[in-house]
Amino acid sequence: MASSALFWKVAAISGATAVGFGAFGAHGLKKRIADPAKLASWGTAAQYQLIHSVALLMASGNPVAASLFTAGMTMFSGSIYALTLNPEKFKFLGPVTPIGGVCLIAGWLVLAFGKKGGPPKFPRC
């Protein structure tokens, strides 16, 4: 299935960027932002992105759950990254964060209560 391979690649790229964003938050961002709460928010965004990148790998054969995880990571983590870097410019993204969180929760619920097809079938590399 073509969408499985696409979600697999999105998950792998998302995982790689989550590690990069986490490292940037732990090292480079400290030179730019002194507020510990903002640094903690950045760390939360990177952690959720990384966790849900793995979830997306596992859900790559379930297009509904995979779409929800992709949308959720983009909205939840993406809005936090933007709001941390420039809260005034990206103030409009404030309401996007909880919508992203709802998408992440919905992705897990789709996995829990959706079709039970056994263990995930991973695309061949």
- Nearest Cα to Cα of residue 56 among 125, 115, 110, 117: 110
User: What's the domain range around 7?
Assistant: 2-113
Q: Is the pLDDT of residue 119 over 60?
A: no
Instruction: Tell me whether residue 54 is in a domain.
Output: yes
Q: How confident is the model at residue 122, as a pLDDT?
A: 58
Is residue 122 situated within a structural domain? no
Residue 78 lies in a domain: yes
Helix, strand or coil for residue 9? helix
- Does residue 125 form part of some domain? no
Instruction: With a cut of 90, say whether residue 120 has pLDDT above it.
Output: no
Let me know if residue 123 belongs to a domain: no
At 34-54, the pLDDT tens digits run: 999 999 999 999 999 999 999
Q: What is the DSSP string of 27-67?
A: TTGGGT---HHHHHHHHHHHHHHHHHHHHHHHTTT-HHHHH
pLDDT tens figures, 58-93: 999 999 999 999 999 999 999 999 999 999 999 999
* Distance separating alpha carbons of residues 26 and 22, to the nearest angstrom: 6
CA distance 13 to 96: 22
Among left, alpha and beta (phi > 0; psi -120 to 50; other), residue 86 is beta
Specify the number of domains making up the chain.
Answer: 1
| pLDDT for the residue numbered 3 | 87
Average pLDDT, the chain: 92
Residue with tokens 């263990």: 119
Distances (CA, A) of 104 to 41, 65, 100, 111, 114: 17, 9, 6, 11, 15
Q: Is 15 contained in some domain?
A: yes
* Residue 119 domain-assigned (yes or no): no
| Residue at 83 is within a domain | yes
